[in-house]
Amino acid sequence: MTILIQPFRDIQPEKVETVAEGIKKIYPNVKVLEPIDFPENAYYKERSRYRADSIIKFLNTRTKEGFVTIGLTSKDISVTKGKIKDFGVMGLGYRPGKACVASNFRLNKENSDEQFYKIAIHELGHTQGLPHCPEKMCFMRSAEGKNPTNEETDFCKKCKTFLINKNWKFSSI
């Protein structure tokens, strides 16, 4: 499998490069694509946001077998969550799936590069089939409407073992 990083035109190239370098440390088969425009149907005018599910559907149509695409943006993205039609999120990934999206819009200004990388690998974990993890320090924990990324330190042993079985490389488990 190859991970394709699909930046949208709004994101700074340095942010894309930082995320790409982080991912390459644990999954070396990564390719950064040229920036593209958002799909027009993803824009949610009422709240000036982009619908994460529409972005994923768009990326899915462009993702061939043997690839997973992660879209990166600095725009505000949202999903329908329960009775909330437009719930702002940092990322979304289907489990399993061929595409996911991560946004740095909701990240804290300090530590934002590290947080963005953690959001990206969390969403990529979902594409591989990982659910949310109850371990507080694990990258796969649920954000529960907050931003817990500064507390996350690594994938827990269970999640790491799952990813190793999918050919992810870690220096230690």
Three-state secondary structure call for residue 76: coil
Distance CA 18, CA 114 (A): 8
**CA–CA distances in Å: residue 128 to residues 39, 96, 97, 123:** 24, 5, 7, 9
Which residues are registered as beta bridge partners of 157?
none
**CA–CA distances in Å: residue 162 to residues 32, 126, 169, 170:** 25, 11, 11, 12
Distance CA 36, CA 39 (A): 9
pLDDT of residue 170: 79
Which one-letter amino acid corresponds to residue 94? Y
Burial of 4 (0-12, 13-18, 19+ CB in 10 A): buried
Q: Which has the closest alpha carbon to 160: 132, 118, 123, 130?
A: 130
Three-state secondary structure call for residue 41: helix
pLDDT of residue 103: 98
CA 47 to chain centre: 22
Provide the 8-state DSSP code for 8. B
Distance CA 67, CA 146 (A): 30
Query: Which residues does the chain have with pLDDT short of 70?
Result: 171-173
pLDDT of residue 173: 45
Locus of tokens 């039609």: 85
Q: How many CA atoms lie within 13 A of 97 on its CB side?
A: 23
Angle at 133 between CA 135 and CA 127, to 5 degrees: 145
- Residue 99 and residue 60 in contact, taking contact as beta carbons nearer than 8 Å: yes
